[in-house]
Structures are given as structure tokens and as C-alpha cells.
Amino acid sequence: MKFKVFLCTCVSVLSFFSAQAQDMTEDEIKARIQPVGKVHVAGAKAETASTGPRSGADIYAKTCVACHSVGVLGAPKFQNAADWSPRLEKGFDTIWQNALNGIGGMPAKGTCSDCSDDEIKAAIEHMIEGI
């Protein structure tokens, strides 16, 4: 008998909350299930919203320098004519497409997944400037 009372109580409570949820608008439901806090990692630099396209120098300093400063896995070194000349013979668009899609050990966009195609182009132009 106690189990039947318990079961009836559970069904009543569930039906009450189900009916209450059906009366809520979509915005009310979204507000109700919003996270109550945010995670902050000590020492982590907060990302700021982009105010526009970043310069080639900024992209290079952020993501390209790790490989292109020393030639990791055959990456052409920064403003090194001997490394870039054979690639430039194939045309700038070929270099740009290789950077966008990845080539050899270089992943697509050189790990700068938030870079636009134009920002990748600017980074390449920065790396070959003066050659």
C-alpha cells in the first residue's frame, strides 16, 4: 500500500512540473537553464572581440612564428629568399591555397583556425616581404 501512495505522489509531482513547463515560453525556458557561473582559469588571458582584420605581422607573431622562424619540418623561414623563391615560382595563389588547405607537415591555416582567408594572405605577404 505504501508503494502505491509513493507512486501516486511521484506521478502527481511529475504532472505538476510537466504542466508548468508547458506553460513556459521558449525565452523563459532558455532563461531558466542558463549557466549560473563561468569558469575562469587563473593566469589565462581573456580573449577580446576582434575589431577587424588582424595584420599579417599579428598573425605571424601569434601562430606562424613557431614553425617559420626556424624552418620546422621544412617550413620556409621568415623573409628567407632561398626558402621562399622556389615556392614563389609556383605563384602566390598556390602558396596561399597551400596555407589555407595545409601541405606537408603544415595543417590547414597553420593552426590559426580563427583566421580569415585574407588574414592568412596577409601573414604570407608579411613573411615574404622584401624578397
| CATH code of 98's domain | 1.10.760.10
- Percent of the residues in the chain that have a pLDDT greater than 70, as a whole number: 86
Total domains in the fold of the chain: 2
Q: Look at phi and psi of residue 112 and say left if phi exceeds 0, alpha if psi is from -120 to 50, else beta.
A: beta
Give me the DSSP letters along 53-67: PPPHHHHIIIIIHHH
Residue 18 and residue 75 in one domain = no
User: Angle of helix 81-88 relative to helix 92-101, nearest 10 degrees?
Assistant: 100
pLDDT tens track for 51-100: 789 999 999 999 999 999 999 999 999 999 999 999 999 999 999 999 99
Q: What are 97-102's contacts with CB under 8 Å, separation 24+?
A: 99/123, 99/124
Residue 35 counted as domain residue: no
Residue 112 and residue 70 in one domain = yes
